[in-house]
Amino acid sequence: MEKVCIFPHKLQGEVHVPSSKSMGHREIICAGLANGRSIVDNISMSKDIEATIRCLRAMGVVVVEIASRFPERKALMITGTGKLYAKEAGADCGESGSTLRFFIPLAATLGEPFTLEGHGKLVSRPLQAYYDIFAEQQLAYSNNEGELPLTVNGVLKAGTYKLPGNVSSQYVSGLLFALPLLEGDSVIKITSPLESASYVDMTLSCLKKYGIVIDNVGGAHREYRIKGKQKYTALDSVVEADWSQAAFWLVGGSVGEAINCTGVDFSSLQGDKAIVEIMERMGAKLERTEHTVKACHAATTKTVIDATNCPDIIPILTVLAATSAGTTEIINAGRLRIKECDRLAAITTELNKMGADIEELPEGLVIHGKPEGLAGDALVEAWNDHRIAMSVAIAASACREPVVLEGTESVQKSYPNFWKDFVAVGGRIEAIG
């Protein structure tokens, strides 16, 4: 593992926010399912995006990296035939949960065996909702005692799919990608209120952009009606900025001096855009224009944060709460325990080492804020989780004493340029060993 010492220094400057990893996955997949050539630009390349590209290539889609119109970004020229096939026997999903769950239903449209592998905690992350569907349809599959690798060997059938609303939204999105390709019509019925609904809305928006029609009946439980024999439309597109990545810098500016985030889109459907409303509710000083948001140093205070539709920003909001006045509660956050690591345990453990006062509950956190700031002077770990590494780095910049962080390479999963941007806004780090 790579290790750095992070020295206290208030952050100040400007960051051009990376493109959305969530939308990047969706745009690349939709382009790959089209018959023709698409160019998807403004991609912030990461290990997770590379995993999605590998899966498309293994299913017969041609993906070529070309020059981007945007500095330090990538563009992909993606050429599909409108029909996937098993060009290779399988693909490696790396540690990307989105890649795995999006491609399992697509693998079940191939009509021939296809194996999906993974690494780290992804090997054991839950897939039961898909296994239940396969059992109901008598679709053949095999796995390693419930873990990866998973081989799908059968054809998904059109029909009615029922899913509880408390499963990962990635299951719903995966089916939404695949079902329009089937011969018959299908319905997805969500049998209880849908958690992380914003991620499904992002999928629906991307599908519509690429010519796929989904009737969303709506209501608390939701129902999606999908016509079969649909065709994805090839087009050129630009991936929007990532609000979950902007969140690190907004908190960094609030606990530091000031950071201006450029390239953001306030019309985005990303649930993580809630960072703005939550921080303002806590008393943060934010200045907005159409495509920028600037966070300036401010004294912040307690609130209640519901993680239902914005789980990815909970670790960095915990950093803000740890240095805010009063006691902040984070609720409906049990889903964070099955991410790249148990994020509730990880952020509690590491911030408490730095002097925070956080209580861990089964479904959330109680954070007793210390507006005087955290002491630091600790050896902390990233838990092989990009969001824990970046959250701890922001917290360390505002501590009174240096902090040593192990596992800095974990940011490669979503934000390889994080440390470069950290230094650009005044972060002071020194490699160890």
The residues annotated as belonging to the active site are 312
149 prior amide bond cis, ω within 30: yes
Q: Which residues does 37 contact at the CB level (< 8 Å), separation at least 6?
A: 77, 78, 79, 234
Residue 263 C-beta-side C-alpha neighbours within 13 Å: 21
Q: Are 177 and 106 in contact (CB under 8 A)?
A: yes
- What are φ and ψ of residue 307, in 5° steps? -85, 0
